[in-house]
Amino acid sequence: MAEPIFDDQVPLYELRDTHVRYRTPAGQVTAVGGVTFDVAARGMTVLAGPSGSGKSTLLRVLGLIDRHTAGSVAWQGRDIGRLSHRARRAVRRERIAVVFQAPPDNLIGHLGVAANLTAAAQSAGLPDADPEILDWLGIPGTGGWRVSALSGGQQQRLAFGCALARSPAVVLADEPTSQLDAASAALVLDVLRRLTERGVAVVAASHDPELVALGDRVVHLREGRIDEVAA
């Protein structure tokens, strides 16, 4: 019998003394220098901190995009450091949705709005996206539009719609409001809140106070280390 891929009684992530180091022409750089915390299977966790604090790096590790270089990171109790490329892809495909900082980076530009939702659903093995998603995002009637016809805020909301269309266990969002004006950011925050209400875990990296305020748990980072964990 196959091992279950998701159990909401188990923390999504367990990080223990996790390090991430990069090699650069100037030498080795420690982006994350030994962090230990858990991410619950429900609610919103915010990685907060100033630029260069390691929050985006940590988010990429959680998204199984980058690998940690020391310590351990467990996904649903399994050490992801030991997972093969194929297994990591399977976890990303079936359980994780990532929303990048720049809205256009989350969408396929040559596909229309509805097609982007369909593509997102198909990438997780689902036949199609929930037809109500556009209404839920507050951009009804835009299914036939080109992506470029949407504003930046609408594009970022559509990015979360695509994430939702994949029915993930967790949505990882990297600075989702940093490139938006206040009104658009507010709409995105609303989407994030409603995502958590639907039972989807959200991990967001941000230094936006309003987003930080939304977090059920806030992990404050400074220079790659945990400064404070607030509930």
Chain residues in the site for other proteins (CB under 8 A): 63, 65-67, 85-86, 89-90, 92-94, 97-98, 100, 102, 104-111, 115, 118-120, 122-124, 166
Instruction: With beta carbons less than 8 A apart as the criterion, state whether 35 and 181 touch.
Output: no
Closest CA to 113 of 166, 78, 157, 53: 157
Minimum distance from CB of 63 to other proteins (Å)? 7
Minimum distance from CB of 119 to other proteins (Å)? 4
Element (H, E) at 213: helix 209-214
Closer residue to other proteins in complex, CB, 92/217: 92
Closer residue to other proteins in complex, CB, 94/130: 94
Minimum distance from CB of 126 to other proteins (Å)? 11
State how beta strands 44-48 and 201-206 pair: parallel
Closer residue to other proteins in complex, CB, 77/125: 125
Minimum distance from CB of 102 to other proteins (Å)? 8
Q: How far apart are CA 51 and CA 230, in angstroms?
A: 19
Closest CA to 133 of 153, 147, 113: 113
| Residues paired with residue 228 on neighbouring β-strands, in sequence order | 220
Q: CB-based burial of residue 194 (10 Å sphere; 0-12 exposed, 13-18 middle, 19+ buried)?
A: middle
The single-letter code of the amino acid at 108 is I
Minimum distance from CB of 98 to other proteins (Å)? 5
Element (H, E) at 19: strand 13-24
Closer residue to other proteins in complex, CB, 74/111: 111
Closer residue to other proteins in complex, CB, 49/63: 63
Minimum distance from CB of 125 to other proteins (Å)? 9
Neighbours of 224 (CB within 10 A): 22
